Amino acid sequence: MQFIYRFSAVCAPRIASRRILALALFVSVAGTVRLDAQTDYYNTDRGRPIQIEDAYVAERYGVELKLAPLRLERARGGVYNWGLEPEIAYGILPRTQIEVGLPLAYREVGTERQSGIAGLELSVMHNLNAETEGWPALGIRADLLAPVGNLAPSRAYPSITGIATRTYAWGRVHLNGKYTAGSSLTGTSASSAGAEELSRWLVGGAVDRTFPLRSTLITAELYGRKPLITGEDVEYNTGAGIRHQFTPTLALDAGLGRRLNGDAPGWYVTFGSSFAFGVSSLFPTGR
């Protein structure tokens, strides 16, 4: 899940965002040094670089480390929102991955600055099938945003997502539909960083096109979501992005998008990197 944190003030947002971007780049590059990994650009993940993902999971026994998924949003009026959420996923069973994310937040509200953990995200994703001529690839994901950290929502929010991926000669189509259970947020409970990005529902689609000889994928999405905060209107967002396998051990992605409606329809950019590696002790030797 991507978190967007809103600044109520506009002081020094550019400086902050540059620091975050620099940190993300540093972590990405530093992380490449000793990791063995595998080509990953074709397996799109939520928020990498767009919200809509494909139905496939991390390979069995593979560990996928997403070190610097960064999202920076500029709302109308020059208000910046940003989020950073390192995640780690592990292919624990056939077609099944577990994932842990730790969203970090940095907020400036007027003269007050807040930073910390905006919850603990746990998820299980299961790919039901491989795509065939008759069936698209189907996946299902269960998430739990736990109230961990000073900027987290006050209670846990579970959600479930259905995913479908269909491949055509011209590209792939992905559909996502998500529902979050739990009471709506009102008043002060809605002000936490994690709560602001929770959606009662989210429905969207994306298309991507792969350039296999260049190990590059471009993608675009359109989705709508109903915020969990009472009284908020449905938001519509569109975005586009690119994923590129930089080396066998490093996949990079970047994206940009725009909120189409609402009081503050601004733009956002994302940047991320991922590495896949294995831990020998987790593998069957077969001997």
Cβ–Cβ under 8 Å, residues 159 and 180: yes
201 touches another protein by CB under 8 A? no
Token reading at 168: 């055509």
C-alpha 73: how far from its chain's center? 14
49 prior amide bond cis, ω within 30: yes
84-113 binders of another protein (CB under 8 A): 91, 94-95
Q: Which amino acid is at 145?
A: L
Distance CA 241, CA 218 (A): 6
C-alpha 271: how far from its chain's center? 10
Number of chain residues interacting with another protein (CB under 8 A): 60
Binder to another protein among 81, 215, 270, 274 (CB under 8 A)? 215
Distance CA 44, CA 121 (A): 19
C-alpha 68: how far from its chain's center? 11
- Near another protein by CB under 8 A, which window of 25-33, 115-123, 186-194, 202-210? 202-210
263 touches another protein by CB under 8 A? no
Binder to another protein among 59, 73, 85, 232 (CB under 8 A)? 59
Binder to another protein among 77, 110, 187, 212 (CB under 8 A)? 212
280 touches another protein by CB under 8 A? yes
52 touches another protein by CB under 8 A? no
CB of 91 to another protein, least distance (A): 7
CB of 85 to another protein, least distance (A): 23
- Near another protein by CB under 8 A, which window of 81-89, 147-155, 181-189, 211-219? 211-219
- Name the residue nearer to another protein (CB basis): 78 or 94: 94
CB of 36 to another protein, least distance (A): 5
Q: Is 99 exposed, middle or buried (CB count within 10 Å of its CB: 0-12, 13-18, 19+)? A: buried
- Name the residue nearer to another protein (CB basis): 18 or 214: 214
Distance CA 239, CA 217 (A): 14
- Name the residue nearer to another protein (CB basis): 14 or 209: 209
Cβ–Cβ under 8 Å, residues 92 and 98: yes
Binding mask 145-184 for another protein (x = CB under 8 A): -------------------xxxxxx---x-x---------
- Near another protein by CB under 8 A, which window of 7-15, 72-80, 116-124, 246-254? 246-254
The DSSP element (H or E) to which 194 belongs, if any, is helix 193-196
Of 42, 22, 15, 47, which is closest to residue 254 (Cα–Cα)? 47
Task: Report how far apart the first and last C-alpha atoms of the chain are (Å, whole number).
Answer: 40
CA 183 to each of CA 1, 9, 156, 179, 210: distance values in angstroms, whole numbers, following the listed order: 19, 29, 10, 12, 41
Distance CA 221, CA 238 (A): 5
Binding mask 118-137 for another protein (x = CB under 8 A): ---------xxxxxxxxxx-
283 touches another protein by CB under 8 A? yes
Interface residues with another protein (CB under 8 A) are 36, 38-39, 41-42, 59-62, 91, 94-95, 127-136, 138, 164-169, 173, 175, 203-205, 210, 212-215, 222, 224, 233-234, 236, 245, 247-249, 260-261, 276-280, 283-287
